[in-house]
Amino acid sequence: MYKVIIVDDEMIVRHAVKTIIKWEDSRFEYAGSAASGVSAIELVRRTNADIVITDIKMAEMDGLKLIKNLMAGGFKGEVLVLSNYNDFDLVREALKFGAHDYMLKLTLKTETFMQTLEEIAVKLDGKKGDVKARLVINEQVNGEIERLYDLLEQIEQGVTEHVNLSLFNQEEQRTAAIVDGSCCYTFSFYMQEGDLPTNQTIDFHETLEKLAEGLFPKKLFLFVFHTHSNRYSLIAATPFVPNIVDPEEIAQRMLKLSEMYYGLTINVIYGQVATSFESLTQQMNRNKKAEELRFYAAYKEGYHSNQEVAVDTDEGFRAAETKLKESLRGFGGGAIELWVESAFVLIEIAAKHGIHSKSLKRILAGGIWGLSNVIALQNDTTWNEKCWIEKIEEADSDSSLKLLIKEMSDEILGSIGKGSHTAALREEIRRAMAYLEKHYADRVSISDVAAYVALSEPYLCQLFKAETGSSILTRLNEIRMNKAYEMLLSGKYLVKQVAIEVGIPDPFYFNRLFRKRFGHAPKNIIRVAPR
């Protein structure tokens, strides 16, 4: 039985919490209540309480100070915090000080409350050391665990997709056998450096270990590998039980705790539970395959199963590929613009259908060769397509691909396509376009442009549409969105800052224009280090 005390400066809350908990036929015993942190410390000492349920805001010694005092005094139990919706910052502090979890007062229900208490009980079981449920650690086992770490690290770093145990020596086979009959969980974690608070350094390796310690209280072993700059993998094993914890639930919990403890947004890929060394290595390798989908912005948020893996092609992608090839049948700048539009659609469909980035890049590279033929046939101009193909092959995200294609089309159209077309425009229209390029960040009105080029507003609008094929406002927003894309990709600006910088302070309008232009929200632009 675990002794529970309830701490709140309001008697009605103490009574409500006591009523919600099912004391009968449970392993929890009511040990009393207190109206302040000061009296709670005395109550814990007198009753040897195991679980403290406390409000976070109290007049005399609040919940934060209570947690600090308990931990400083060597409290071996667990603390559950009660809070309101606007107490998030205080809750984060409480979790950092050692609280197990928090619950919102307005949403308290018996079922969820008992589930949380049971999680705490399992954690306390682990602290006490249930010999039947835990591996007995001695010198020999410690040595095997260390060798297992080395063995899994080699597999994680590198090379083999399938492990043949028959090729292992006797020592390696004995080490691998530690895994057999347990429940092994595998996770791959990604974090963006830009998400780290600028005023502190966080050791994410240590952070993962701390988070996992609480989620796997009865662990047989727990390993964290730092495989490259922003990627970490976690492998944990627990004794086999019939009703295993769903890995998806653990991944979801890791995201929540990472955000709550450290303010970090991470991306998690989780594997299925493995019960043997061979199945564990299969899940590790499948995690790596699933990571290929992180090429796309849609897969860089939240958590994903390693059952989702990239495919080489499918019907929808093949249809988009056909349209891309057909776009090259046109002539001049129009064909190039149509190809760019078709390429953007192809990238979006590839993201939607989970197409392997190598397949996508191969088709885009082939399209660039096709573009070079169109240019050579239609213009007496040479164009260095090889450098753009190399850039496409080196792109590390779908956002980078789109930006490269935009830059490439601007280069082509600037020199042979739109370049000659622009030269043929009326002087007033060329001056109007130059004005928009220069003043895109200002509050530009049609009357400003008309005054600058010395034409009436109606005539300017009619002439601009006839000569360029688009309205003045459409052209202005294209300039603004292209500039916004470049700024976001640099990783130096927040979305709100970019919106203001390009002359659209309304964030909702900015988001709508950006999504219309590029097919996804500005927050999904991948940050890369400036070159």
Render pLDDT for 277-294 as a digit per residue (tens, 0 to 9): 989 999 999 998 899 999
Residue 128 has pLDDT above 70, yes or no: no
Q: Among 360, 393, 419, where does a domain finish? A: 419
Interval 418-440 mean pLDDT = 75
Average the pLDDT over each of 19-23, 170-174, 262-266, 423-427 and give the range with the smallest value: 423-427
What CATH number did the domain enclosing 104 receive?
Answer: 3.40.50.2300
The answer to whether position 293 is within a domain reads yes
Q: What is the pLDDT of residues 223-243, one digit of tens each?
A: 998 877 788 999 999 888 777
- Alpha carbons 98 and 473: distance in angstroms, whole number: 55
Residue 313 lies in a domain: no
Choice among 309-318, 333-342, 385-394 with the minimum mean pLDDT: 333-342
Average pLDDT, the chain: 82
Which of 277, 305, 333 terminates a domain? The answer is 305
- Reported as a pLDDT band with limits 50, 70 and 90, residue 330 is low
Do 61 and 152 fall within a single domain? Answer: no
Share of the chain above pLDDT 70, in %: 86
Is the same domain home to 429 and 415?
no
Residue 50 and residue 176 share a domain: no
Residue 2 confidence (pLDDT): 92
Does residue 407 sit in the same domain as residue 446? no
Let me know whether 144 and 264 are in one domain. yes
Place of tokens 């300017």: 460
Local confidence band at 202 (pLDDT 50, 70, 90 cut-offs):
low
Would residue 133 count as lying in a domain? no
Same domain, 113 and 248: no
Residue range 98-118: average pLDDT?
86
Tell me whether residue 99 is in a domain.
yes
Closest to 54 (Cα-Cα) out of 108, 99, 12: 99
Out of 305, 332, 360, pick the residue that ends a domain. 305
**Same domain, yes or no, for 146 and 294?**
yes
Tell me the pLDDT band of 487, cut-offs 50, 70 and 90: confident
Condensed to tens digits (0 to 9), the pLDDT of residues 49-95 reads 999 999 988 887 888 999 999 988 889 899 999 988 677 778 888 88
Residue 245's CATH number: 3.30.70.270
- Tell me the whole-structure pTM to 2 decimals: 0.56
CA–CA dist 356, 19 (Å, integer): 55
d(CA 52, CA 41): 10
Provide CB contacts within 8 A for 314, sequence distance 6+. 353, 355
Question: Residue 429: which CATH number?
Answer: 1.10.10.60
Same domain, 250 and 376: no
Which residue intervals of 224-314 are DSSP H helices? 247-262, 277-290
Q: Are residues 441 and 339 in the same domain?
A: no
Alpha carbon 199 to chain centroid, angstroms: 21
Rounded Cα distance between 412 and 333, Å, is: 9
94, 150: one domain: no
Q: Is 516 domain-assigned?
A: yes
Q: Outline where 454-528 has alpha helix (H).
A: 457-468, 472-490, 495-501, 507-518
Judge whether residue 373 has pLDDT over 70.
no
Residue 185 in domain: yes
Domain assignment present for 102: yes
* Lowest mean pLDDT segment, chosen from 71-80, 332-341, 356-365: 332-341
Q: Say if residue 378 is in the same domain as residue 397.
A: yes
Strand order in the sheet with 51-55: 28-34, 2-7, 51-55, 78-83, 101-104
Q: How many domains does the chain have?
A: 4
Are 363 and 301 contained in the same domain? Answer: no
Q: What are phi and psi of 74, to 5 degrees?
A: 80, 25
Over residues 398-423, the mean pLDDT reads 71
- Its domain, for residue 80, covers 2-128
Does residue 134 lie in a domain region?
A: no
CA 255 to chain centre: 9
Name which of 279, 306, 280, 303 is nearest 291 in CA terms. Answer: 306
